[in-house]
A and B are shown apart, each in its own frame.
Chain A
Amino acid sequence: MRIKRLVFAVVLVALWIAIPAFASRSVVDMLVWTGLYTIAGLGVSFLLGQCGIVSLAQSVFFGIGAYASAYCATQFGWMAPAGFLVGMVVSALIALAVGWPVLRLSGYFLALATLALAIIGHVMFLEWDWLTGGTLGIGGIPALDLFGFALNTPQRFYFLVWPLAVFVLCLHRNLLHSRTGFAIRAMRDAPAAAQVLGVDTRVLKVKMFILSAVLGALAGSLFAHYVTFVSVDSFGVDRAINFLLLAVLGGATTIFGTILGALFITVMPNVLSRFGDIHGVLFAASLILAVIFLPEGFGGALRRAFVRSEPKP
């Protein structure tokens, strides 16, 4: 079984390295987007699947990361890592300030509260045009530079965003099997019993919300340096819904399923766009079919297939 998995992994990695060499620029661009969506979406899917928290606020943290990087780079001329750091710290602080009161809610009420946050965030990005440039946005954000190597094409950016995405996925996989991970899943399944075991569920929820926000900011900063232009249109409620959608489609209970959800969200609209005006309807139909036939998401379906293929002990 080990060998089979190892072969599978080696093939995946080889394929991953080879893709930019022969795939077209637009395909690689799509895959870069998949990577960005994976990072931000992981925050949402981890909250949804492991903590039982529905968050529609990820677009706000994505925006904060993007604006922090854009502003620090263009206004202060700071190095890129500084912008990343500012975005993540500001996101963490806002997640703390908002999460502490809001995470007392649960279920639909919490979902609505986070939706409200997304709407407020969008309005603020629009109104604070001295900071965000409003609808005009901020342009001229320099491409990232890795050891003197400018990441100014999709092919090059691909090799930054994917290792990062896999890295954060691995971190979350570690977390899931740690002491904190057990506490998180205990809290999801039976919050009262988790408290009896000594888990301060309120603090833990806020911590997880902050972690999710930091991922959103990280993806946002990467996004800003990738497209080199950010405007308020990129951080609307539709973006927040996309992040939640990919979490649901990927199957929030499996961490690596997030990649598949992100792939669906980026590839499907592209594929369907060739059908002209009805592509929106087709996309909606594909979503409905996916949810009906794969109730556990792509990740869940894949895991099931793997388990079935392994001989029973």
Chain B
Amino acid sequence: MSNLLDVRNVSHSFRGLSVLRGVNFVAPQGQIVGLIGPNGAGKSTLFNIISGFLEPNQGQVFYQGEDISRLSVPQRSRRGLMRSFQTPQVFSHLTVRENLMAGCYKETGSGLIAGLSGMRGSRREQARMGDTADRACEIYGLTGVRDQLAGKLPGGQQRLVELARAAIGKPTLLCLDEPSSGLNTEEVNQLMAMLRRLNAEGVTILLVSHDMDLVAVAEHVHVLCFGEIIASGSFAAVKGDARVRDAYLGV
């Protein structure tokens, strides 16, 4: 099995405070990979480095065998690397449907001039975007709130909108930052179903979470503690590791 994502020897520090120290880890193609660790372990920093919001002081990130360390966020997105945020980032003044239409950005191609002129190509494209959004609403159970402003929805549903929007962008790797935070049990179940569905469609998923029930769906788990990977393996193996219990699970 080939590695979709390969993080090599990544170190990062903020004003002399070392946050990541020589982190190595891989995400094999088609798997759900978990990344856990106590607060302040450097998970978010690592996430920002993988998705391109932060350039590491040292080390490289390889994606599909290509060094993407210097690529911008949209460039990585075009290669299929997408992410969600710890607090859901919906486009709050757009409806749910419009949020999903915005998710079609990479799949469509009309430019500024075509948009201004309202040419038939641009209008047809809008219709296509609308159809895609409607279909996604049905698949992810958002039809009931389709025409509501996304910013007015409760946090759990915003999370689902964010995820559905990312799914429309045809990711090959989806990085999810604490996707179950703020969700009720029913919404967590909905989320898990969504993740399984995406994974079955071939999307590799990288999951950062505190929620052990959620991380249990991961086939492979990395444990990050004070900027270093202290354990890697199956969820059961990692759970049994003495260092992990000390650092994280025991508390």
Residues of A within 8 A of B (CB): 170-172, 174-175, 177-183, 185-186, 188-190, 192-201, 207, 211, 253
The interface residues of chain A, by DSSP majority, are classed as: helix
Q: Does B156 contact A (CB under 8 A)?
A: no
B110 touches which of A178, A194, A198 (Cβ 8 Å): A178
A contact residues around B34 at 8 Å (CB): none
Q: Does B82 contact A (CB under 8 A)?
A: yes
Given known contacts A179-B108, A196-B83, A190 and B89 CB-to-CB distance under 8 angstroms: yes
User: In the docked arrangement, what's the CA distance between A200 and B151, Å?
Assistant: 23
A contact residues around B125 at 8 Å (CB): 178-179
Given known contacts A171-B116, A171-B117, A180-B115, A195 and B77 CB-to-CB distance under 8 angstroms: yes
Name the distance in Å between A218's Cβ and chain B's nearest Cβ. 13
Given known contacts A196-B73, A200-B72, A179 and B115 CB-to-CB distance under 8 angstroms: yes
Of B93-101, B134-142, B218-226, the segment with at least 4 beta carbons within 8 Å of chain A is: B93-101
A contact residues around B77 at 8 Å (CB): 195-198
Residues of B within 8 A of A (CB): 51, 53, 72-74, 77-78, 82-83, 85, 89-94, 98-99, 101-106, 108-112, 114-118, 122, 125-126, 129, 151, 162, 165-166, 169
A contact residues around B94 at 8 Å (CB): 182, 185-186, 189
Closest B residue to A49 by beta carbon equals: B93
User: In the docked arrangement, what's the CA distance between A199 and B73, Å?
Assistant: 9
11 A-B pairs whose Cβ atoms sit less than 8 Å apart in the complex = A179-B108, A179-B125, A180-B110, A180-B111, A181-B115, A182-B129, A186-B102, A189-B91, A189-B92, A192-B53, A197-B102
Name the distance in Å between A104's Cβ and chain B's nearest Cβ. 13
Contact between chains at B110 and A193 (CB < 8 Å): no
User: In the docked arrangement, what's the CA distance between A260 and B153, Å?
Assistant: 32
Closest A residue to B91 by beta carbon equals: A189
B89 touches which of A181, A182, A192, A201 (Cβ 8 Å): A192
Closest B residue to A173 by beta carbon equals: B118
User: In the docked arrangement, what's the CA distance between A307 and B166, Å?
Assistant: 32
User: In the docked arrangement, what's the CA distance between A292 and B241, Å?
Assistant: 62
Interface centre among A175, A178, A181, A200 (most CB of B within 10 A): A178
User: In the docked arrangement, what's the CA distance between A255 and B115, Å?
Assistant: 15
B contact residues around A188 at 8 Å (CB): 93
Closest B residue to A193 by beta carbon equals: B89
B91 touches which of A177, A180, A193 (Cβ 8 Å): A193
